[in-house]
Structure 1
Amino acid sequence: MVTIVIGWYYYLAQAYEIQTQATEAQVISCQSDIQEYLIFYSNQLSFLENTYNLAGQIQEISQTSTDAYMIQRQKNYDTLYSALKTIDNVSSNTLNFFEAFFLPQQLLYYRSPSSNIEQIVVFDPNGSIYPGQNSDVPNYTERIPADILSVILMSQVPQIHYLAAQSNNPKDHDRILFAKNIVIDNVGIIGGVALFIDADVVRNVIMKKDSTTPGRITLFSSKGEYIYKSSEHIFTSIYQLPPNNEYRSYVENVLMQNGDAIPNRPTYFHNQSGQELMLYFRGITNTDWLMTHTVATEEIATGITSPVWYLLGLTVFMLLMAMALSHQFMKYVFIPLERITTKIGRIRNGERFLRLYYPHNNEIRDLVTNFNTLVDEFNAMQKKAETRLSQRKIIMDKSDIVLFELELDSMIITFDDSMFIKTHGIPQIIHVNAYMKAMKYSVEDSEKLRIALKRLREKGTAQHIEVCIQPDGMPEPTWWTIDFLPVNDINVTHIISGVTINVTAIKQEQIRFQSLAEFDTLCNIYNRSTLFDKMDRSLENAAENCEKVAFIFIDIDDFKQFNNKYGHEFGDRIIKFIGRVIRSEVTDDIGYAGRYGGDEFILCITDQDLISCEKLLEIAEIIRNRLQVGIKTREKTSNLPILCSMGISIYPENGFLVETLLDRADKAMYHVKETGKNGIFFAKV
């Protein structure tokens, strides 16, 4: 009989402990969820700082201190702030600014339109938010509060602070500030980067747990402000409760200790109704916040005395009766192992922050300790991997960056699941040759790729190439860089990691700038500088291959009179008209043309089949006749004919240098001028 009574009370005590631990586990889970949210947004700060080289930008702007540059300095701040706010939709107005500080392909950070981030800002060591008073920055962020700023500047890690609403205006709601200082060696702190999110993000996390957890969960800032509270509360701060309130006393004491004195076990007290309550305290990592959980002890006991628990109690009681003679075995082996197995199942099912507990000092305790250590290490690795995967997914889903792996032995490429393979219609796993064929690689680009792979096999060093692709269905070609990064593991040297980035925008800008540098903007043929470079190379090639080169010197007759009579705008129309005629007749397969200056043009014929007096005269006559068709003036309905004089010289008959050949062609042209104009004449040998 004594054994039965002891067993029954033993069961009740253990059931109460299990129910208490289950309730505590839910609170710990809520605490963990909050910390995961905060760590994610904290990581955004370091990611943003490194990606956009904020340290370099702020230092470069801050070094400009003279009055003459203050206006431009403020504009730079405005542009920086505007770009940070609209980072997911960079417009052409901000593109030039970004090119001034870093390459466009470094724009890896993506903020989704559905993101909880309300604002991204940078600030100086005094807490002032860029770009300043004249911007569209809301009032609540004109300056980082001094008490918060001092903590931010003293810390080497991102700081998290709660900002309560300063007014009853519905637009002025409370927020959470994530901030990090920016330090430069030999300079010190030059400012910082911060982001603001709506405090409802954290509240929503707690609300999901609070609705399914016995009791009430509350979250306080270091100043005692309610970050989260139950709906029946009307207070905004713990200090609004009466000074003799027992709950306030416990919370106030812990807040004053800055979290250093958070109890490990629940605290018991009685409310005004005499009801006994259990009070749990939990700190939030990397913050000075405090989370409390209050639950009535009778609420725990009610769960134990439910029919289900009675059934479980009867089962345990019968087991205790049957095993009365093996009480020691049950105490030290069977029951502890049962609890351990249950918790292991819960950990396996997702409650990864639970830990095993075994009170007795034997081999089972060593097993439990090693298991807890293993789970901690696994959780740390999993959390780190999840953060990296989450950040990479944000980037990959909305950017022109593609990651892949290449097996050198089989030449099989495996792409990450991304928009690249969907847009270009290729499988995720594909052979290198099939990939080059699908992407329409040119012969030159295919050779680049083969050489890079050969060097990877022979030297094992990273390789970088640039290729142009235009697969079927794509209206325009695109340019991509490919970087091969060998895995630094002797056991997997045949596996190559890689990244390919769309650099079409950069390439098109390069082509545009090259075009501006090489071509005359008015008539769209080579300018004088480019023309002379090409003529020098043409003569060098002709000398090496024993070939000929012909030069046709064109001068427009009476061009100055056109300008004086009809205006310079009409003169520009004539130049454009001449450019169109020359481009249509002198194509790349027979030679090239350029504007020598003013109304003078030079045609260079390199096609050997056309370098004869008869063929050159035919080309010159075609151009002269087309120019005579002329263009209309504003005053006349009929065309005004454009007449020209032409001189022709041939390498090597008329000389060996560009200057000599042009001089001979120029003299031949002036012979036409002196004998009536509008004609063609060959230079004398």
Structure 2
Amino acid sequence: MEISDLIVSQHDVKGKILVVDDQIVNVKIIKKLLQEDYDIFMATDGDQVIDVCMDLQPDMVLLDIEMPTVNGFEVCKQLKANPLTANIAVIFITAHFEEATEVKGLQLGAVDFIHKPINPIITKTRVKNQLMLKQQSDLLRSFAMYDALTGVANRRQFDQRFAANWRHCIRDKEPISIIMLDIDVFKQYNDNYGHQQGDNCLALVAKTIQQTLKRPCDLVARYGGEEFVCILPQTDFCGAEHKAKSIIDNINALKIEHGFSNVSDYITVSAGVATVVPHKEMQQDMLLELADKQLYLAKSNGRNQVASIEISNIS
């Protein structure tokens, strides 16, 4: 992924803002004020915010402090404690003017305050400024979290996302699946077609895997060399196996010539799949190790295929 691609993508997409207030009239006022410049989403209950943010991944949350079930301070605390939502910018909207209130909010990770009654010019300016700062921060962060050659996540981002997804699947008693992928006979490809062509092949394979996954919550990362790994949270064994087969089919459909392979006339990949519904006594590395063993089995059985396992009652 080129730097210019990241910059262009930021300017081409509207910012997403989640407005949270238990008074629907306040939500409508803010929506009307900002909807021409941003994609506005709404919630009226603090309990909804974490799940909505996990699915939506907004750039910013405009968050009322006083709400009947879970107040804004607690919502902000939960958002900042979760690696998947920690980078969302939070602006508190409040009728309170006390210095102690602002100190507490800023210590919890909020970036600014907007006071009621809403001043349109102040609100639009503060939202614009904070979203600009977030874009710059996201851009810098992306350079540290993505593989420069392929544009997919790197090991650092994989480790963070895997740990977060693992915890959430434990909490929700949901399955999580790992797909380990390796390009077959890639050394011979590099040796005979050259490293530049090998790099082009890696980038195209990575892009194809990413396009096959589709769901925003799924992640593909370059694990090392010609090896990739996919995290599929809330994905059962059948779903993960089907996705792995789709990846293999889509790589085959690229028809990248490989005249030095003993598997096919084209580039192929092998895949190992492991699925589990995790619990607190389990170590997440266990799932990775089992997926890697399945990958080795797929290669031993002739490559260009999937080997898979579903684990239960393993601590």
Tell whether 2:248 aligns with 1:624: yes
The answer as to whether partners of 1:627 and 1:641 remain within 8 angstroms in 2 is no
Query: For residues 605 and 495 of structure 1, what CA distance do their matches in structure 2 show?
Result: 42
Work out which of the residue numbers 32, 44, 47 in structure 2 matches 1:437.
Answer: 32
In structure 2, the residue matched to 1:612 is 237
- Offset at residue 640 of structure 1 (A): 6.0
Aligned-pair identity in percent equals 21
Query: For residues 668 and 634 of structure 1, what CA distance do their matches in structure 2 show?
Result: 24
Give 5+ residue unaligned stretches, structure 2.
Answer: 1-25, 44-60, 67-91
The answer as to whether partners of 1:563 and 1:570 remain within 8 angstroms in 2 is yes
The answer as to whether partners of 2:179 and 2:291 remain within 8 angstroms in 1 is yes
In 2 relative to 1, CA 455–618 (structure 1 residues): closer, same or farther, beyond 3 Å?
A: same
The answer as to whether partners of 1:483 and 1:498 remain within 8 angstroms in 2 is no
In structure 1, the residue matched to 2:166 is 539
Cα deviations by residue, 1:400-423 (Å, 9 ceiling, x for unpaired)? xxxxxxxxxxxxxxxxxxxxxxxx
- Offset at residue 521 of structure 1 (A): 2.3
Letter in 2 for 1:622: S
In structure 2, the residue matched to 1:648 is 273
In the TM superposition, what are the counterparts of 1:269-288 in structure 2 within 5 Å? none
Query: For residues 221 and 158 of structure 2, what CA distance do their matches in structure 1 show?
Result: 6
The answer as to whether partners of 2:173 and 2:277 remain within 8 angstroms in 1 is no
- 2:247 counterpart SS class: helix
Query: For residues 670 and 437 of structure 1, what CA distance do their matches in structure 2 show?
Result: 56
Cα deviations by residue, 1:433-456 (Å, 9 ceiling, x for unpaired)? 535423135437443487532322
Tell whether 2:179 aligns with 1:584: no
In 2 relative to 1, CA 446–569 (structure 1 residues): closer, same or farther, beyond 3 Å?
A: same
The answer as to whether partners of 1:484 and 1:497 remain within 8 angstroms in 2 is no
In the TM superposition, what are the counterparts of 1:154-553 in structure 2 within 5 Å? 434-440=29-35, 441-443=40-42, 445-448=61-64, 451-456=92-97, 459=98, 499=122, 500-501=125-126, 502-503=128-129, 504-553=131-180
Query: For residues 65 and 188 of structure 2, what CA distance do their matches in structure 1 show?
Result: 58
The answer as to whether partners of 2:166 and 2:278 remain within 8 angstroms in 1 is no
The answer as to whether partners of 1:593 and 1:603 remain within 8 angstroms in 2 is yes
Letter in 2 for 1:437: K
In the TM superposition, what are the counterparts of 1:46-65 in structure 2 within 5 Å? none
Work out which of the residue numbers 298, 303, 311 in structure 2 matches 1:672.
Answer: 298
- Offset at residue 495 of structure 1 (A): 11
Size of the aligned set, in residue pairs, is 226
In structure 2, the residue matched to 1:682 is 308
The answer as to whether partners of 1:463 and 1:485 remain within 8 angstroms in 2 is no
In structure 2, the residue matched to 1:658 is 284
Cα deviations by residue, 1:370-421 (Å, 9 ceiling, x for unpaired)? xxxxxxxxxxxxxxxxxxxxxxxxxxxxxxxxxxxxxxxxxxxxxxxxxxxx
- Offset at residue 616 of structure 1 (A): 2.7
In 2 relative to 1, CA 461–617 (structure 1 residues): closer, same or farther, beyond 3 Å?
A: closer
TM-score by length of 2: 0.60
Query: For residues 175 and 204 of structure 2, what CA distance do their matches in structure 1 show?
Result: 29
Give 5+ residue unaligned stretches, structure 1.
Answer: 1-430, 467-480, 487-493
Question: What root-mean-square deviation, in Å, do the aligned CA atoms of Structure 1 and Structure 2 show?
Answer: 3.8
Cα deviations by residue, 1:3-22 (Å, 9 ceiling, x for unpaired)? xxxxxxxxxxxxxxxxxxxx
Query: For residues 114 and 165 of structure 2, what CA distance do their matches in structure 1 show?
Result: 39
- 1:649 counterpart SS class: strand
